[in-house]
């Protein structure tokens, strides 16, 4: 599992967006 920071850099997605996806259940914890 990648850290949120690493995932953010690799995908070009904001950390806040990734956290939001986790909250709504789009990504596994």
> DSSP for 12-26?
T--HHHHHHHHHTTS
Contact 8/18 with Cβ under 8 angstroms?
yes
What is the structure's pLDDT at 27?
80
Residue 28 pLDDT greater than 80, yes or no: no
- pLDDT band with cut points at 50, 70 and 90 for residue 10: very high
**What percentage of the chain has pLDDT greater than the value 70?**
97
Mean per-residue pLDDT for 4-15?
Answer: 95
Mean per-residue pLDDT for 1-29?
Answer: 91
What is the structure's pLDDT at 17?
94
């Amino acid at each position: 599992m990648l850290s949120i920071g690493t995932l953010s850099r690799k995908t070009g997605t904001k950390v806040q967006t990734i956290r939001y996806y986790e909250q709504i259940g789009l990504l596994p914890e």
